[in-house]
Amino acid sequence: SWIAFLLALPAVLVSSPPDPATYGSALESWKVEGSKGCMALEVSGDYLYAAGADSLMVFDISADPAKPRFLSELKGIQGSRQMAIYGDTAYITARNLGLWIVDISDPLHPELVRRYDTIELATGIAATENVLFIAHRVYGVQLLDVSDPANPRHISQVRTSEAQSVAYKDGMLYIGDWAVGKLTIADVRDPRDPKVVAQGTLDGYGDGIFVQGGLCFCSTGHDAKSGSADYRPGNGRGVEAFDVSDPLAPKKLGVFKFPRFLPRNNDFWTSRACGKALFCVDSHNGFYMLDASDPAKLVGRGHLLLPPPVYTWKIPDDRRLANDCCASLATGDGVVYIAGQTTGIHIVRAPTAYKQPKPKLRLEIPPKKCQEPTDPRLWHVDLHSQVHQVAAKGGLVYVAASHGGLKLFQTGQGRAPKEINSWERESVYDVCIQDDILYSAENNKDIAVYKVSGDGNLSETARTQLERDQAVRILHPFLDGKFLAVSSGTGRFSILDSTDPTKLKAVYSNGIGGILYGDMLPERDLGGVFPVNWHSRGIAWYSLRGKAPDMTSKGNPRQGNQLDGIGLLDNGLFVFPLHGSEIALLDPKSPEETKVAKVKGLLPGMPVRGIPAVSRNLVAFASRRDGKVVTIDMSNPLEPVVVPGRCYDLSQGNCGRVAFLGGKMVIPAGHLGLFMEK
């Protein structure tokens, strides 16, 4: 099998030189003096901008585009993925760090305007004067009003399968949908009501998108979608041309394949066209220059493999690659700039290349519709910010409201929850309560500890951070408050000793090599034992009963979806949803066995997905991706049945884990606001 083939590869994975007969001759390149490893490149005016692991660098290219001169550097811009520049503002996506907004009106002194908390992992980006389009993987694309860059405002979102990159043109948004291999086109002429209107099929994983005239070029990677089972692995890499003169009916014109490449490291694929020339990067597989005179018959004109990567961090031998990753590219007059992820900026000569034009684009944003959600079963409060999570105690609800801060609401008396206090913070992601202690995930990196008074007021007693400035996203107290479990948002999981909440101490930080997308651990443990759903690795079990926290992934029972969390029933079984229609039951006494129960009474368009919250025999599954809450009666765990009267479609928002207060649900629903059952 191809997996066995991968395991048999040598420690250093050597790329075979591309065949000149297909890809053109090897190109000469040189490195930009003073540059360092970077991810995103953009040319604007007389300047080249490079966003890397920890900064934004500016280079002057006015005298000679082939000899960029280092000008300035803004430190603290971390986790960069893609960048778009409009006017005097640079917008940089940074996955779990959201969006960096930088004022570049003075290239000698770029200034950070702010960091903005996006819906999910900010990846792709396209910019106009007043609207940003941000790709969020399985959450689709978020539309932001940046008329005032210092105060972005959420407009709407359009859901797609797995949006990685985006391009805007003439009221249409072109989206590279990743694993499904699709070019997805959305009509965004009304930014308040974007709609998917067409799709084209790709023969690989969809990513980089570029639109020129009536043509759309789509970069693809990893595995092919066609051909035999032996052919597909590693053969999805290439670029495809579509006729989008009628965006409602895209027509595939041509496909050009890059060399087969099996290692699944650093999936970054980008295309940029300059007239009849097309320039593409394919991660560690190199840079390619194509002749696109006839889009139906793309022709290779040159290729480049970057030098070996410069690893500044510990990396297993079996993941070392011979050539650095081409993370992105930008075009200048007569040159192409290539972002080497660890080696810096590389340049190749390309006589047909030019600076990409920056047309004036200002979109009409209709006024916000002032209509309340119509479900009569729910109270609704609009917080004018993103509501991530909630925690309930007595008749009070604490709300993690992103840039809106930490808020306190009072419930009851036959009316909507009423805000009675608020604590301003740069951002708040999660909140949880253990006895009279409240923990809050704040300001991206902070774990704040508060003492809760009788009236619900808070007094801060401690504030700490994880090692290496890790982000903090999810907090759950375990073993009666003796430990605090922390998920960092993408792949780090830590356990802190919280015996003394004012002196939190890390006692465990590890995983099983997978990814944690969101709240993948239960909010309750069973006597110090709990499972975690690691994406692509299955369930890992943790125990807090010994001298130190311990993990075992032996047997890895059937895994849930990357967005499906875990809950604990009162009978001692852990549950998580499967395939939108089943419930998996895990018994800590036999962790390698999984029982699966089919859910009865499913409602149309309401699959069982997301993060479970348990109240006696009821389990409410809240899906951040779909914005829906489906409640299941699990009186008989092997015969779960939907409770129709307690299922809610809040698909204009993104629902976090539900909290039960007096038997009623409190639902955080992202930018749609806060909801509570009447």
pLDDT tens for 549-562 read: 998 876 666 677 88
313 band by pLDDT with thresholds 50, 70 and 90 = low
Distance CA 665, CA 79 (A): 36
Structure confidence at residue 8 (pLDDT): 39
Average pLDDT over residues 18-45: 97
Nearest CA to 336 out of 18, 17, 48, 52 is that of 48
Is the Cβ–Cβ distance between 291 and 239 less than 8 Å? no
pLDDT at 294 over 90: yes
Is the Cβ–Cβ distance between 551 and 538 less than 8 Å? no
Determine what percent of the chain is predicted with pLDDT higher than 90.
85
Average pLDDT over residues 657-667: 96
Distance CA 42, CA 107 (A): 13
Structure confidence at residue 190 (pLDDT): 97
Nearest CA to 82 out of 49, 114, 108 is that of 49
491 band by pLDDT with thresholds 50, 70 and 90 = confident
Nearest CA to 389 out of 427, 436, 346 is that of 427
pLDDT in tens, 184-208: 999 999 999 999 999 999 999 999 9
Structure confidence at residue 15 (pLDDT): 55
Q: What amino acid occupies position 259?
A: P
pTM for the model stands at 0.95
Distance CA 42, CA 82 (A): 9
Structure confidence at residue 429 (pLDDT): 97
> For the stretch 528-543, what's the b/e string if a residue is b when 16 or more beta carbons lie within 10 angstroms of its beta carbon?
bbbbbbbbebbbbbbb
CB atoms within 10 A of CB 341: 23
Average pLDDT over residues 344-350: 98
pLDDT in tens, 66-108: 999 999 999 999 999 999 999 999 999 999 999 999 999 999 9
What is the 3-state composition of the chain as percent helix, strand, coil, each rounded to the nearest 5? 5, 45, 50
Distance CA 234, CA 144 (A): 36
Determine what percent of the chain is predicted with pLDDT higher than 70.
95
Highest mean pLDDT pick, 1-15, 393-407, 464-478: 393-407
Distance CA 4, CA 508 (A): 32
Distance CA 108, CA 386 (A): 34
5 band by pLDDT with thresholds 50, 70 and 90 = very low
pLDDT at 3 over 70: no
Is the Cβ–Cβ distance between 399 and 409 less than 8 Å? yes
pLDDT at 9 over 80: no
Structure confidence at residue 414 (pLDDT): 83
pLDDT in tens, 205-256: 999 999 999 999 999 999 999 999 999 999 999 999 999 999 999 999 999 9
What's the number of CA atoms in the CB half-sphere (13 Å) around residue 540?
Answer: 21
